[in-house]
Amino acid sequence: MLTDNEAGLRAILLNQGATGLFGGDLGATLAAVAALVSRGHATREGLFRAELRRTAATLRKQLPALAGDDRTLAALALALLTMPAGDAPPAELPAPMAAILAGISLDDLAAARATVRAALAAAPSSWQSTPLAQTIGKVFHLA
């Protein structure tokens, strides 16, 4: 059972496949990334850097071949992983979402959580289509 703490974040990582995606799904991956980032973990910060770098590499590789909601979900997950370190948003991220994430920092985790929730609210609702994504969203108060 997931809990909204470090143990819960470690439990989320048990759902990461060898490819770097969580539950083999982009929506679940976005939910997992949102939970981790909103608790201070990103590709360059936090305890789970190696795992999140693998996710970022997979998303970068898959983005050019994706379309529709999948493209948006992957771009948002990648943005959440990289923008807190000052990187530009992925070109595939819709401008309104990029604007929401502008200036996201892990220095103020309460503000980061609010920003992550706002970005998820603007995302296609399909990110919540799997039980894993729904559980992560509920436990970590993402939706």
**CA-CA distances (angstroms) from residue 49 to 12, 128, 131?**
14, 24, 25
Which two structure tokens, joined as six digits, stand for 1?
Answer: 């059972």
pLDDT tens, position by position, 4-50:
999 999 999 999 999 999 999 999 999 999 999 999 999 998 889 99
DSSP string, 19-70: TS-BTTBHHHHHHHHHHHHHTT-BTTBSTTHHHHHHHHHHHHHHGGG--HHH
Residues 6+ apart with CB under 8 A from 138: none
Tokens for 87? 């990187």
Say if residues 101 and 117 touch (Cβ distance below 8 Å). no
Sign, Cα dihedral of 77, 69, 32, 98: positive
pLDDT digits (tens, 9 = 90+) for 78-124: 999 999 999 999 999 999 999 999 999 999 999 999 999 999 999 99
